[in-house]
Structure 1
Amino acid sequence: MKIRVLLPIVVDIFNEEVKQEFRNYFPETTEIEVCHLDYGPASVEGEYDEALCVPNMLEKAIQAEKDGCDGVISLCGADPAVKPAREVLNIPIVGAGEASMLYATLLAKSFSIVTVLPNVVSMVENVSKMLGVDSKLNSIRYVNIPVLELVDKEKMETSLLEEMVLAIEQDKAHALILGCTGMMGVASILQEKLKERGYEVPVIDPSFAAAKLLENLIAMNIKQSRLTYMTPTKKMYKQRER
């Protein structure tokens, strides 16, 4: 099995960490490729950023299929380019946001998401609405840490724990989702710390969720429905000259 993980950003500061994390998610025989963008935003923290990352995300997804990949992951809680990519790909592509929400709805009657900034709240909420699970989404909280500053793991972990406790106590969340794929390597730690406080609830890592969902789709030999994601009609597409 060969999969490609697409980061919707032009910087490579997360590439190696992502590759190491995903090595833990898949069998040893799986070939894992991590790819950042050639052009677009440095991080996705709003609708404008998402719009800028989509063109190259689509190009990278199409190239992944041409290179023989069995599946693609859009590694962002807002799932950029997932839906349009499903129209042009004949391999499955999943988004980290949708994958984590699907798992949360299986495990609890309600869930909350803790993300990075207030700028992304509406984007994450839109994913829940398109997925049809918004009735179970009790709240979206944020730690007020920009994506590129999530490399400070101690600060991130402390802030996440504080907001997660509030989500449980005030928002009545029964499951919790890390609302940014830059929040790697802390889900199990936070889950244990919440348990120590008396809250035995699942804490879902969106990267891990996307990986296992994609693995299952590939194993089942299924992909997006052509009745939902119809192949684009043939027409001229003009690209910007570079």
Structure 2
Amino acid sequence: MKVKVILPITSTIFNEEVVQEFEFYASPDTEIGMTNLSVGPESIESEYDEALCLPDFLAKAIAAEEEGYDAVISDCFADPGVKAAREVLSIPVIGPGEASMLYASSLASSFSVVTVLPNVISMIKNVSKLAGLDCKLASVRYVSIPVLEVQDKERLVHALYAEMVRAIEEDHAHALVLGCTGFLGVASELQERLKDAGYEVPVIDPAFASLQLAESLVTMKVKQSRLTYMTPPSKKRTM
């Protein structure tokens, strides 16, 4: 199968690591394609950023289906453009935020998300509400590190670990979700550190979760329901 990963940002600083991570996670018969936006925000840290990314994301998602891809992933935890793309595509469209929350909710009675900045807390809560999982969301915490600075892994892991411990002890989270797809390659280390400290809880990587869900849906030969995601009415639309 072929899965297209669309980074809904113009920055290319994550490209190499994104390709490496997705190819590592992918099944042997899965081909990964990746692209950035041509126009839009450098990163997504607000509703404004998300709105700016949508037109080009949708254009690239439509192009991916025309190129023969079997599924599309919007590689941002806020799941920008996912629901709109589901209306116009006939292949599964996956959001890492929704996917990782679904996995977390299947493993624990409650979960917390640890993300980048306070600006995105309401966006993440909206993802949980739309997925019907807000009743299991214990909290959304943040590390005060902008998206474009998360490549400092030592600083990132230290900050994430501290907030995860607080989420467990203060918010009663039984599972933890990394709340940014830029948090690459740290889930296993954090899970082991928490286990060593006496907290045996799952830590969900949103990129990994989104790919696993995409592969499962393609293998099952199912896609989004047309009763939920109806094809938009035919009309003139000026972009």
1:29 and 1:213 map into 2 onto residues whose CA distance is 15
Deviation at 1:25, TM superposition (A): 1.2
Corresponding residue for residue 147 of structure 2: 147
What is the number of equivalent residue pairs in this alignment? 239
Bigger mean CA deviation after superposition, 21-30 or 203-212? 21-30
1:1-38, Cα deviation, whole Å (9 max, x unpaired): 11100101101111110000001111233211111100
Corresponding residue for residue 221 of structure 1: 221
Deviation at 1:154, TM superposition (A): 0.6
Deviation at 1:166, TM superposition (A): 0.3
Corresponding residue for residue 170 of structure 1: 170
1:99 and 1:123 map into 2 onto residues whose CA distance is 15
Letter in structure 2 aligned against 1:135: C
1:149-174, Cα deviation, whole Å (9 max, x unpaired): 01101100000000000000000000
Corresponding residue for residue 51 of structure 1: 51
1:134 and 1:66 map into 2 onto residues whose CA distance is 35
Corresponding residue for residue 232 of structure 1: 232
Corresponding residue for residue 186 of structure 1: 186
* TM-score, scaled relative to structure 1: 0.98
1:41 and 1:176 map into 2 onto residues whose CA distance is 28
Percent sequence identity over matched residues?
Answer: 63
Alignment of 1:14-53 (within 5 A): 14-53=14-53
1:11 and 1:140 map into 2 onto residues whose CA distance is 25
1:21-61, Cα deviation, whole Å (9 max, x unpaired): 00111123321111110000000001000000011110010
Runs of 4+ in structure 1 deviating by more than 3 angstroms, as ranges, are none
2:124 and 2:8 map into 1 onto residues whose CA distance is 15
1:135 and 1:63 map into 2 onto residues whose CA distance is 36
1:185-210, Cα deviation, whole Å (9 max, x unpaired): 00000000000000000000000000
Letter in structure 2 aligned against 1:117: L
Deviation at 1:69, TM superposition (A): 0.2
SS at match of 1:170: helix
2:162 and 2:152 map into 1 onto residues whose CA distance is 16
Corresponding residue for residue 101 of structure 2: 101
2:55 and 2:25 map into 1 onto residues whose CA distance is 28
Letter in structure 2 aligned against 1:116: V
1:238 and 1:52 map into 2 onto residues whose CA distance is 16
2:86 and 2:8 map into 1 onto residues whose CA distance is 16
SS at match of 1:113: strand
Deviation at 1:125, TM superposition (A): 0.3
Letter in structure 1 aligned against 2:187: A
Alignment of 1:76-95 (within 5 A): 76-95=76-95
Mind listing any 5+ residue stretches in structure 2 that lack a counterpart?
none
Mind listing any 5+ residue stretches in structure 1 that lack a counterpart?
none
